[in-house]
Amino acid sequence: MSRLFNRPLTRRAWLHSALGAAAGFAWPLPLAAQSAAQPFEQWVIAFRPRALAKGVSGATYDRVMGRVKPDMSVFAHQRKQPEFNEQLWQYLNRRVSEWRITAGRERAKEYAPLLARIERDPGVERSVILGLWGIETAFGDPIVQQNHFKPVVPSLAALAWGEPRRRAYWETELINALRIIERGWSSPDEMRGSWAGAMGHTQWMPEVWLNVGIDYDGDGRVNPFGKPDDALGSSALYLIRRGKYRRGEHWGFEVKVPGGGASSDAQRSYADWQKAGIVRADGQAFPQPEARAQLWVPVAGGPAFLIGQNFFSIRSYNPSMNYALSVVHLGDRVLGGGPFIRPFPGSERAPTLAEVQEIQKRLTALGFDTAGTDGRIGLQTMAAVRDFQKRVGMAPADGYAGVKLLARLRQGL
């Protein structure tokens, strides 16, 4: 293992990726109100000693903070509740889409040497890295960056100044961003990301950049932008150190459970689960029968899974079981795996790329703005779907762009 992966690691709690909704998922945000004790300009002056005490030079602070205008849109983002309620099968169909699988296969070929190095060096499977990259930013897709990234220093400054509930957290992350600039790793103009400050291919907060990031491409700086080497290598390190990822173990498997079964926190070896009658859904043998896993049935009557430590390692990146399932499923599909064998109750098959494009074209022709017809289902397409559903009386008006919606669109208004 490279010495890059043997250095000590310290870090604070990782914030949910706020790009999630843009790249394919939404997470609930608590209500937060802007509350500042003093005007922003006065706060900038008062905050200066705090930053200097943490290693930020006066010259860097004055150059960066002296021209910052707080991005007030962050408070609307914090207050905004999710607009769409997705069932798990809908959540997965949106994220593990044909467009994303195809894009992932292209990236898997393009970056095969890098992915092989990560498998060899830190020891994280390429399927996991591809799944994580794909869910976080659609493999660094430039349209995601153009539509959803903004300068993070004004966002963090606004939150550190005016968000009372987690002010200490935002103050620390603003200082971390200034320390990155102080080190010469980046500039305020380059540091673009989500409204909450997550940046790069795999969405690092500044603290992650400072404490987990490694110079994996050997160019002399740690950089989550541009080439994906540093981002993917560092995320592998995150999974190992923070998530206790185990080299050589798969995340788990879809299984058949006698009588349907229910989730269990019991940790047993795959061999013991098999003795209890639980076998892989595809009929193959468990490759590591002595590895341990637990049974998870997300939806009664739907697919069941035995999930091991590496599933929970991925969950450490974003504490959501659905998120982790989308990551591992996307990674498996990119490398040639098939859809889950047992369907979710009441589910639809995932629409093809051509079907999604037809949905977008038909909605656009009817006057609903989908922000393009490229086959990617983002928030704008979901909003257009929801508005169409409301207009024609489809229930629920959930914004899901699926095959049933397409059938209704083909009927016209």
| pLDDT single digits (tens) 46-80 | 999 999 999 999 999 999 999 999 999 888 877 65
CB atoms within 10 A of CB 63: 12
pLDDT grade for 164, boundaries at 50, 70 and 90: confident
DSSP state of 199: B
The string of DSSP letters for 303-338 reads -EEEE-HHHHHHHTTSS-HHHHHHHHHHHHHHTT--
Architecture of domain 3-82+147-241: Orthogonal Bundle (1.10)
Domain extents for the chain?
3-82+147-241, 252-307, 353-410
Instruction: Output b/e per residue, 85-123; b: 16+ Cβ within 10 A.
Output: ebbbbbbbbbbbbbbbbebbeebbeebeebbebbbebbb
User: Can you give the pLDDT at residue 24?
Assistant: 34
| pLDDT single digits (tens) 238-276 | 999 999 999 999 999 999 999 878 899 999 999 999 999
Q: Which helix (H) or strand (E) holds 193?
A: strand 192-193
Select from 174, 164, 196, 172 the least CA-distant residue to 32: 164
**Mean of per-residue pLDDT scores for the chain:** 89
Q: Exposed, middle or buried by CB within 10 Å (0-12, 13-18, 19+), for 166?
A: middle
